[in-house]
């Protein structure tokens, strides 16, 4: 979208990128992100003299945080499954032998 009201030009820019390192102060580790930026340019003598930009960085941060939270939940689920399998093995050994299993 592009709107012109000289000396101003406004646009909504769409981005779909994979930043590395940090992005908007967030450690993104190469995760793909899509977002929009609303920007207004002021022109004088065919040159940009002022730029106003609005990016919903909180929404972008929530998207990264949600992905990180999901990764942590998945890791906890994997570790819980391993712990359950281990306890099942110990319980099974205890049932067979009638004594506490040695680790």
| DSSP secondary structure of 6-35 | TTEEEEEEEEEE---SEETTEE-TT--EEE
pTM for this prediction: 0.53
Whether 7 maps to a domain, the answer reads: yes
Number of domains in the chain: 1
CATH for 15: 3.10.450.50
For residue 11, name the pLDDT band (cuts at 50, 70, 90): very high
Whether 79 maps to a domain, the answer reads: no
Whether 78 maps to a domain, the answer reads: no
Task: Report the alpha-carbon distance of residue 73 to residue 35 in Å, rounded.
Answer: 25
Q: Of the spans 12-21, 39-48, 67-76, 87-96, which averages the highest pLDDT?
A: 39-48
The CA-atom distances, in angstroms, between 73 and each of 24, 31, 85, 99 are 25, 18, 18, 35
Domain housing 24: 2-73
**Which H helix or E strand runs over 50?**
strand 47-55
Whether 102 maps to a domain, the answer reads: no
Whether 64 maps to a domain, the answer reads: yes
Whether 46 maps to a domain, the answer reads: yes
Higher pLDDT, 37 or 96: 37
Whether 82 maps to a domain, the answer reads: no
Residue 49: pLDDT over 90: yes
């Amino acid at each position: 979208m592009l709107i012109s009201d000289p000396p101003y030009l406004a646009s909504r820019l769409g981005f779909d990128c994979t930043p590395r390192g940090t992005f908007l102060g967030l450690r993104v580790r190469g995760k793909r992100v899509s977002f929009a930026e609303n920007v207004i340019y002021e022109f004088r003598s065919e040159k940009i003299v002022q730029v106003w930009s609005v990016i919903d960085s909180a929404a972008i941060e929530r998207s990264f945080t949600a992905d990180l939270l999901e990764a942590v939940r998945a890791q906890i689920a994997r570790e819980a499954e391993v712990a359950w399998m281990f306890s099942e093995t110990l319980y099974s050994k205890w049932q067979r032998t009638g004594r506490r299993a040695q680790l």
